[in-house]
Amino acid sequence: METLERIEAPAPVVSLEEAKAFLRVTDGDSAVISDDLLITSLIETATAYLDGEAGYLDRAIGVQRWRYSHDGFPRAGIVLPLPPLRSVETVTCTLRSGTTVALAGPDFRVMPGGSEPGRVLPAGMCPVLPFDVATVTVEFTAGYDPVPEPIRTAILMHVATLYENRESITANTTFTAVPFAGLDLVMPYQRAYFG
Query: pLDDT tens, 118-145?
Result: 999 988 777 887 778 889 999 999 999 9
Could you report the per-residue pLDDT of 167-190, keeping only the tens digit for each?
Answer: 766 666 565 555 666 888 999 998
pLDDT score for 183: 84
pLDDT score for 194: 54
Q: How confident is the model at residue 100 (pLDDT cuts 50, 70, 90)?
A: very high
pLDDT score for 33: 59
State the chain's mean pLDDT as an integer: 88
Q: Which residues pair with 63 in a beta bridge?
A: none
Pairwise CA distance, residues 128 & 67, whole Å? 20
